[in-house]
Chain A
């Protein structure tokens, strides 16, 4: 069973900082099937990145994704106040089980 491990569990940063979030898979898989979501308190998740590096519709270009194999990164180049939230990576696609990572909380320092 695929496990996605996100690190760190929490990140304390200031507006304008760069955020780097990690997602490590327990098995190698095709990067086409790696997504990132953002979730704010009391809200449903929102799709940010799919295929490891493609921004979803309407997502600002300060969000970028990279990686392949077992190691994936979500980068927020300059944090805006609205970016403080929890971020989840997810494996979707070829396997009929769609695993989420445990999440990284980006909080205001």
Chain B
């Protein structure tokens, strides 16, 4: 069974930094692209970033480009810097399907809440 467990969320001041982690199990982690998707309180889903299985290709939403960095080893990470109030959201880790098309997510974690506030 695929399991994805996010950690690292919390309260951070505007301009601060935070690193999210996602521990994965139940599948061959290195074979799948992985992504972060966020959801602001009471709002819809927003794709944030994707990294290829090899780690060789990374993609970012314009809203986070230059501020967030996705990476992976045996886990998935999201390094967030220069945080803004509008980055407040639940951040989900999501696994791509085996179909080979980036950005189609068949498994999700339960999310970790990031709150940016002074």
- Is there contact, CB below 8 Å, between A93 and B104? yes
Binding site for A on B (CB under 8 A): 35, 37, 44-47, 50, 59, 61-62, 92, 97, 99, 101-106, 108-111
Q: How far apart sit A97 and B110, CA to CA, in the bound complex (Å)?
A: 22
User: Within the complex, what minimum Cβ distance (angstroms) separates A100 from chain B?
Assistant: 4
- Is there contact, CB below 8 Å, between A44 and B110? yes
User: Within the complex, what minimum Cβ distance (angstroms) separates A23 from chain B?
Assistant: 12
Q: How far apart sit A63 and B50, CA to CA, in the bound complex (Å)?
A: 28
- Is there contact, CB below 8 Å, between B97 and A44? no
- Is there contact, CB below 8 Å, between B47 and A100? yes
| Known contacts A44-B110, A44-B111, A92-B101: A97-B59 contact under CB 8 Å | yes
In addition to A45-B37, A46-B108, A92-B102, 15 A-B residue pairs with Cβ atoms within 8 Å of each other are A1-B62, A32-B101, A50-B97, A50-B99, A50-B104, A88-B44, A90-B45, A90-B103, A91-B103, A93-B103, A96-B102, A97-B47, A97-B59, A98-B50, A100-B47
User: Within the complex, what minimum Cβ distance (angstroms) separates B97 from chain A?
Assistant: 7
Q: How far apart sit A92 and B109, CA to CA, in the bound complex (Å)?
A: 19
Chain A contact residues (Cβ within 8 angstroms of B): what range?
Answer: 20 to 34
Annotate A73-109 by CB proximity to B: 1 below 8 A, 0 otherwise.
Answer: 0000000000000001011111011111111000000
Binding site for B on A (CB under 8 A): 1, 32-33, 35, 37, 39, 43-47, 50, 56-57, 88, 90-94, 96-103
In the complex, chain B residues whose CB is within 8 Å of the CB of A93: 101-104
In the complex, chain A residues whose CB is within 8 Å of the CB of B92: 44-45
Interface hub of A32, A98, A100 (most chain B Cβ within 10 A): A98
In the complex, chain A residues whose CB is within 8 Å of the CB of B59: 96-97
**A56 (CB) vs chain B CBs: closest residue:** B106
User: Within the complex, what minimum Cβ distance (angstroms) separates A59 from chain B?
Assistant: 11
> Which one of B47, B97, B104, B109 lies within 8 Å of A99 (CB-CB)?
B47
